[in-house]
Amino acid sequence: MVREKNMDSRKIEKMRSYLRNDMEVGPRGVKDSDALRFYEETEESNGYVDIRPPFFRDVDRIVHSKAYARYIDKTQVFFDVNNANITHRSLHVLLVSRISRQISRILKLNTDLCEAIALAHDIGHTPYGHLGEDILNKISQKKGAGRFMHNAQGVRWLSYLEKRFPKQAAKGLNLTLQVLDGVLCHDGETNEQEIKPEKINGKTWEDHFKEYADCFNENKIKRIPMTYEGIAVRLADTLAYIGRDIEDAILLKFISRSDIPKSCVRILGDTNRKIMNTLIMDLIDYSLEHDAIGYNAPIFDALKELKEFNYRNIYLRRDDNMDHLIEEKFELIYETCLQDLKEENYHSSIFKDHVEYIDNPDYSSYFEPHRKANKLQLIVKDFIAGMSDKYFSEVYENISQRS
């Protein structure tokens, strides 16, 4: 950002031209000039000269957000493990960013857009990873607060609960539609050999809001990213975790390297480095020759088998005998925080650490509207979803001492 109001306009435009990458974006990519924001922004409204292209600017807004900072202590797969070498979500999103940018550079996509989607895609994740997500979804539906899905919760944080201006109540970051669509439509759990947008940049804000609302209700809409950049991130998500989870599991002696299916080893390799390289090279090779991003059949079949192996031997085993204990903790925190809201216990953690950051000093923009609409459970869901694993444990201990 440049604050000198008297700087020569030609110099400013020269700086802008150096940052733009439209000339490097091919026919499948989204140009900076195609970026769409819900609220139009001008230099006058921002109060300073801003030379950054829109998706570059979105990256900055994301990495400076409070939700992004909480990645540092959020579980990727293995929780309650005192081992600094184990992957946390902060590393995972960087890996997704690196892989998607590599794909983007070769396919002539917009690398800034890929980076923004990748770094934001897991912001809505709960503590305790996908197990925590499943538990909060179960509690949320039981309490009449709709479904919980981390992708939609990420959009909620970025669009409504984060602050752009520290002296004002939260109103979201006003990110571009292309970034928010990529976050909402990412899904590393799906098994797709290839995927492409129905139409590049073919969604409107109305389409986005419809898909977003569906996530909390019936969840019937098949969400496909509106950009190839969103698809690159969606597939990079799997590339980033599939081999890394195996290495973490071996380090913790969950499995041994010899347990990896021989058919997968023969085609993909038996280390994260080999697996990632094989998958990335095949994906790029396939995608250069087709109008979709995807894999050749032998590689895709091996990837599906490896996913099934991880699920049976890592993720299910990890959750054995732990899910009931963690669910009890979620239940206690949920019920206590809901009661604190109902009783307006302003000294409680949900008020001090959550509501006060988002709301106006008189609670008129967040707490009061939810209270009057009888939707305080949504605030509890926001609070728990935003917790890091460490903070979740601290809140649980504090509540246990109160009980």
Distances (CA, A) of 252 to 257, 306, 320: 12, 19, 15
- pLDDT surpassing 60 at residue 255: yes
User: Which pair of tokens denotes residue 228?
Assistant: 């190839």
- pLDDT surpassing 90 at residue 46: no
Residue 189, pLDDT score: 65
Query: How sure is the predictor about 7, in pLDDT bands with cuts at 50, 70 and 90?
Result: confident
Neighbours of 182 (CB within 10 A): 29
Query: How sure is the predictor about 23, in pLDDT bands with cuts at 50, 70 and 90?
Result: confident
Question: Does residue 234 contact residue 188 with C-beta atoms inside 8 Å?
Answer: yes
Per-residue pLDDT reduced to its tens digit, 174-198: 999 999 999 999 985 668 899 999 9
Mean per-residue pLDDT over the chain, rounded: 92
Treating both helix axes as pointing N-terminal to C-terminal, what angle do 272-289 and 228-251 enclose, rounded to 10 degrees? Answer: 160
Residue 292, pLDDT score: 97
* Phi then psi dihedrals of residue 142, to 5 deg: -65, -30
- pLDDT surpassing 70 at residue 232: yes
Q: Calculate mean pLDDT across residues 334-348.
A: 96
Residue 2, pLDDT score: 46
Per-residue pLDDT reduced to its tens digit, 292-332: 999 999 999 999 999 999 999 998 887 776 788 899 999 99
Percent of the chain past pLDDT 90, that is, above it, reads 79
* Phi then psi dihedrals of residue 81, to 5 deg: -115, 125
Residue 242, pLDDT score: 97
Query: How sure is the predictor about 403, in pLDDT bands with cuts at 50, 70 and 90?
Result: low
Per-residue pLDDT reduced to its tens digit, 118-137: 999 999 999 998 899 999 99
Residue 24, pLDDT score: 87
d(CA 339, CA 288): 56
User: Which pair of tokens denotes residue 260?
Assistant: 């990896």
Query: How sure is the predictor about 45, in pLDDT bands with cuts at 50, 70 and 90?
Result: low
Residue 1, pLDDT score: 46
- How many whole angstroms from its chain centre is CA 288? 27
Residue range(s) occupied by CATH 1.10.3210.10 in the chain: 43-319
Lowest model confidence (mean pLDDT) among 78-92, 149-163, 361-375? 78-92
Rg over alpha carbons for the chain, rounded to the nearest Å, is 22
Distances (CA, A) of 132 to 60, 79, 91: 28, 10, 19
- Answer yes or no: CATH 1.10.3210.10 is held by domain 43-319: yes
Q: Which pTM was predicted?
A: 0.94
Per-residue pLDDT reduced to its tens digit, 153-165: 999 999 999 999 8
